Amino acid sequence: MASPVRERARAAGRAVIAALAGLTLLVATAAPAAGERITPRTCTYETYTWNVHARRAVDRRWVTHAYAELRAAEVDPATGCSVCREDQTRVELAPLAPFHICHKLAPRVREVLGRLLDDGLPIYEVGGYRVGKTRGDADGNGNRTLFSNHSFGIAMDLNPGDNGLYDRCLRFGPHCRLIRGGPWRPGESPASLTADGAIVRALKGVGLHWGGEIAGKQKDFMHFSVSGY
């Protein structure tokens, strides 16, 4: 017959084993599956509003609130990407400066740009996520009311110095007015993008549309996004 001391020791050992088993089960239950993304607790971003009268950015500010309280205007309905920094992934592809893009697009963007760079294609600058209300009708004070596609991390600008944004431009020609970036010079500058070029074709192949093919009064030759705008 075991002594009382030995029985107490055995009981204590069984209790420790049970506690460890319970802890292991709790951790296994709480841990996300491989590749599964944990929903952030907070949403933070820096934003501004474009004023069409002043032709400049106004109301620059930081926004912080619970991720569970995302408003419809803060989420792109086509992709589910939000304006939150927490939804963005940092992309590092030497020799480019790092940029951020929505985590849902980041793998395909990283893969295709990496391949193009390895092939020696002229990609010198890429800009991605930046939050601002630059779209939609202006309100009574001249402020734009909708977030841009860059705000959700679903748009990129490539080589802006050689692929400008133009307005008054139903069809490209001398009458088009350059309003941002550098002049578009296909045939003169290898960094100027064209519809039949390898860069545009590769990015369209992964579901991004080119701003140089926008239907309307603007042509944005640096721009790629899910919708093209």
Could you say which DSSP state residue 33 is in? P
Statement to judge: residues 21 and 46 lie in one domain: no
Tokens at residue 156, please? Answer: 């990129």
Please tell me whether residues 149 and 75 are part of one structural domain: yes
Question: Domain count of the chain?
Answer: 2
Provide the domain limits for residue 19: 1-31
Claim to verify: residue 143 and residue 199 sit in the same structural domain:
yes
* Mean per-residue pLDDT over the chain, rounded: 89
Specify whether 60 is located in the same domain as 168.
Answer: yes
Whether residue 163 sits in one domain with residue 62: yes
Note the pTM of the prediction, 2 decimals: 0.83
Whether residues 23 and 124 share a domain: the answer is no
Q: For 3-54, what is each residue's pLDDT tens digit? A: 554 555 455 555 544 444 443 333 333 445 556 788 999 999 999 999 999 9
Angle between helices 198-205 and 106-118 (to 10 degrees): 150
Task: Please report which residue ranges of the chain form alpha helices under DSSP H.
Answer: 4-30, 106-118, 198-205
25 and 55 both lie in a single domain: no
Asked whether residue 5 falls in the same domain as residue 108, the answer is: no
Residue 103 forms part of a structural domain: yes
Q: DSSP states of 124-180 as a string?
A: --EE-----EEEEEE-TTSBEEEE-GGGGT-EEEE-GGGS-EEES-SS-STT-EEEE
Q: What is the CATH number of the domain that holds 120?
A: 3.30.1380
Residues 86 and 12 in one domain: no
Same domain, 3 and 75: no
Residue where the block lists tokens 């802006």: 160
Same domain, yes or no: 144 and 220: yes
Local confidence band at 227 (pLDDT 50, 70, 90 cut-offs): confident
Tell which phi-psi region holds residue 196, choosing left (phi > 0), alpha (psi between -120 and 50) or beta.
Answer: alpha
pLDDT given at position 14: 56
CA distance linking residue 162 with residue 49, whole number of Å: 26
ω into residue 95 within 30 of 0, thus cis?
A: yes
Instruction: Report d(CA 212, CA 229) in Å as an integer.
Output: 10
